[in-house]
Amino acid sequence: MVILLIIFALAVFVLPNIWAKWVLKRYTKGRDDYPGTGAELADHLLRRLGVEGASVERTEFGDHYDPETRCVRLSPDNYDGRSLTAVTVAAHEVGHAIQHFQGYAPLIARSRLVGVAQKAEKLGALLMMAAPFLFLLTRLPGGLAIVIAMAVISFGTAAVVHLVTLPVEFDASFNRALPLLKEYVPPADMAGARHVLTACAFTYVAASLASVMNLGRWLVILRR
C-alpha cells in the first residue's frame, strides 16, 4: 500500500513537471524562418491588440505576466530565442496580458488571492505545527479543534488559488494564444505549439494536485 502511494505521489508531483520540461526543451531549436524572437512577437502582439500600458521585459525568475506592473516577463532563452518554444511561451504570457486588459474575472480573482494565500499558507503551516503546544497551554475545551480549523482554512487558501489558476492558464493557452499563433507559426509547427501550450498550462495542474494533497497530508497527520 505504501509503495502504491509513493508511486502515485511521484506520478502526481514529478512526472507532469518532467514531461512539461521535456516538451519545452524539445522545441527550443533556433528557427531562421521565424521573423522574430519571443520578445519581439510579444511586443508586436501587445501593440497590435492595443493592450495599453503593457510592456515586455527579460527576467531570471521564469516566464510570467505581472498584473501589478502590466509586464510580460520572459526568461532569457524565450526573450532572445527565435524558436517554437520562445514564440509560443511569449504568446501564452501575452494571453494573460489580454485577460487582464479585458477584465477576465478568474485572473482578477487569482491576483487578489495570491497575496492573501502566501501569507495565509505560512500562517497555516505555523498553526498546524504549533497546534498541540497551543492546546497544552490553553487547555480549553475544543481549543485544539479551533486551532486546527483555523490552520486548515489558512493553509487551504493555497489550494484554492491553484484551482482558480487552472481556468486562467488554459484560457491563456487555448483561447488567447493559440488563435494568435495560427497567424504567425507555419501550419506544420502548430502541433508542436499545442504541445508547448499544454505544457505551459499543465504545470499548474500538477501544482494544484500537489497543493490539495499537501493539505490532505496535514489533515491525516493531525488526526493521528
C-alpha cell read off for 221: 497527520
Let me know: does 43 contact 62? Beta carbons within 8 Å. no
What is the number of alpha carbons within 13 Å of residue 170 lying toward its C-beta?
Answer: 8
Q: What are phi and psi of 35, to 5 degrees?
A: -75, -15
Choosing from 52, 57, 93, 121, the catalytic residue is: 93
Q: How, if at all, do strands 71-74 and 55-58 pair?
A: parallel
Residue in the block written with cell 487551504: 156
**Residue 52 annotated to the active site:** no
Q: How far apart are CA 54 and CA 88, in angstroms?
A: 18
Three cell numbers, residue 55: 510592456
Q: What whole-number distance in Å separates Cα of residue 152 and Cα of residue 215?
A: 7
Residue pair 218/152 in contact by the 8 Å Cβ criterion: yes
Distance between terminal CA atoms of the chain? 18
Q: What region, left, alpha or beta, does residue 149 occupy, with left being phi > 0 and alpha being psi -120 to 50 degrees?
A: alpha
Cα distance between residue 99 and residue 77, in whole Å? 24
- Residues with catalytic function: 93
